[in-house]
Chains A and B, each alone.
Chain A
Amino acid sequence: MNGAHDLGGMHGLGPIDREIDEPVFHAEWERRCFAITVAAGFLGQWNIDMSRYARERMHPAEYLNTSYYEHWLHGLQTLLVEKGLLTEEEIAARMLELAEEQET
């Protein structure tokens, strides 16, 4: 699909920022996001190309404004809901629960 992921030739994004000794993960949630995505893949409900397609379907404005592992998280949520493993409501309820835990 002609989505925001197909960036080749686009102007105006500026130079690529190369980090010296770049870490594999920049935050703990990225490590978890990676692990959960790989673990969920072993459920056998989708393949790697379907995972890529799930990320590509993010709205272009949101895609360009979010980081690599945010794309992963979005793609995973899309697949979990599409395959009927979770509902949007369950995800929203759990996020609310976690937010309340953090406040207390």
Chain B
Amino acid sequence: MKALKAEDVSDALRHSRGARVDEDVVPKFTTGERVLTRNLHPVGHTRLPRYVRARHGTIRCDYGVFIFPDAHGMGEGKKPQHLYSVCFTAQELWGPGASAHDRIYLDLWDDYLDPA
């Protein structure tokens, strides 16, 4: 096992890798498309909050291909896929008592979404 030495710390931190993956993966959705989030309750790691499951939203933009945390966090590989900014109305998430003007944007992966 390789331990980090004190003299290598700043280099290691400067060159640490991000979650973006340089791989050609076909996106499932395009900007402006309506989507329905899946009603998932995995016992493992997920980045899909409870309040945004089985909710309708709109793809605002496609960030590109990223590591899928739900697989990566369980030691199941990177499962690279597209990550989007998805727009939800406050009322879709929090009901008719929420503001009619507010929007909430969440960064969501392909595996969380179905076409609406």
Q: Which residues of A contact B (CB under 8 A)?
A: 1-2, 6, 8-9, 38-39, 42-45, 47-50, 52-53, 56
Contacts and interface: CB of A to CB of B under 8 A. Distances in A.
A47 B73 contact: yes
A39 B9 CA distance: 8
Given A1-B45, A2-B50, A43 B3 contact: yes
Interface in B45-93: 45-46, 49-51, 67, 69, 72-75
14 contacts: A1-B43, A1-B46, A2-B41, A6-B50, A9-B50, A42-B12, A44-B1, A45-B1, A49-B69, A49-B72, A49-B73, A50-B45, A53-B73, A53-B74
A8 B2 contact: no
B45 A56 contact: yes
Interface size, B (range): 20 to 34
Given A8-B49, A50-B75, A43 B2 contact: yes
B4 interface: yes
Interface of B: 1-4, 9, 12-13, 19, 41-46, 49-51, 67, 69, 72-75, 94
B89 to A, nearest CB: 15
Contacts of B74: 50, 53
Contacts of B44: 1, 53
Contacts of B50: 2, 6, 8-9
B51 A52 contact: no
A52 B1 CA distance: 22
Contacts of A43: 1-4
Contacts of A2: 41, 50
Nearest to B9: A39
